[in-house]
Structure 1
Amino acid sequence: MQDTELRKIIQAELEKDEPDWHRIEHASRQVVDSDPDFIRFSVDAAHIQRLGEELVAKQETALSELIKNAFDADASKVTLTFEKHAGLGGALTIEDDGSGMTEDVIRDAWMRISTAAKANEPTSPRFGRVRAGRKGIGRFAVQRLGRQLLLASKPAGSPLGYRVNFDWERDFQPGRNLQDIFSGVERFEKKSEEQGTLLQIRNLRDVWPDAAIERVWRSVILLQPPFELAPVQPSTTGSPTADPGFQVVINGVSQAEQTKKFSIESDFLARAAAIVTGSVDEHGRATAHVVSAKLNLNDTEIFDLVMDQTGPFSFEARYFIYVPDMLSGMKQATAAQMGRQFGGIRVYRNGFRVLPYGEERDDWLGLDDMASRRNTILLPSNNRNWFGQVRLDSSANPAFEETSSREGLLENQAFTQLQTFLQQALIWAAGRVGFKRDRKVTAGQRDFVSVVKPSQLIRHLRIGGQASGSDSEEVLKAAEAAAADYEKQVEAKLAESLEYEEMLRILASLGISISVFGHEVKGAQDNFLAHLAIVRDVIAGLRNDEEKGALGHELDDLASASDRLLDIGGYIAGLMSSTESRELRTLSVRGALERFTRQFGEYMRKQDIRFDEPDVQPSHLRTVPMHSSEFDTVLLNLLTNAIKSMRKAKVSDRRVRMDARHVGRHVVIGFEDNGGGILPENRERVFDAFFTTTTGVEDDGVAGPGTGLGLKIVSDIANSYGGVARVAEPSDGYRCRIEITLLEASEQEGRQE
Structure 2
Amino acid sequence: MSIIAIWGAGLPGFSVDTKLFRELGELLVGRESTALVELIKNAYDADATKVTILGEGIAKPDGRITVTDNGIGMTEAEFTSGFLRIAGRSKLGADRRSLWFQRRYTGEKGVGRLAAHKLARVIKISSRRWDGKERDPVAGFPADKALDATINWDKIEALDTIDEIDRSDAVTLKSIASGGKYAGTALTLSPLRKQWTERDREQFIDEVATLTPPEVLVGSLRPTVTTAQPLLDKLRVRDELRPGGFEVSYVSDLALSESELPAEAESASWIIEVDCDKGNRRLRISVMPTRKTQAEFSNAEPFVLDRKLEKTDPAVGFQARLLQMSNAQWPKRYQGVRVYFEGFRVLPYGDARDDWLQLDRDYRSRGHSELGRLRRRTSWDLPVGNEKEMLAVQGNTAFFGAVLLTRSGADELEMLVNREGFIPSEQFDFITETVRLAIDLQVRLRYAATSEVKQARQITKDRQQRAAQRAASGQAPTAYNLRELHEGARQSLNNARLAISTGRADEAEAELVQLEENLHSAAELGDEVISEATMFRVVASLGLEHAAFIHEVRSLSLSAQALGDALETIAREVTDDAVTKRLRAIAADARHLRERLRRNAIYLADVTGIEGRRRRSRQALRERVERVLGFFENAMARRGATVDIDIPTNLQTPPLFPAELVAILSNLLSNAIKFMGDKGRIRVAGETGDSSFRLRIENTGDKVDPQNSDRWFEPFRSTTTSIDEALGQGMGLGLTITRSLVDEYGGTIRFVSPSAGYATAIEVEFPRS
Give the alignment's TM-score, normalised by structure 2: 0.47
Give the alignment's TM-score, normalised by structure 1: 0.48
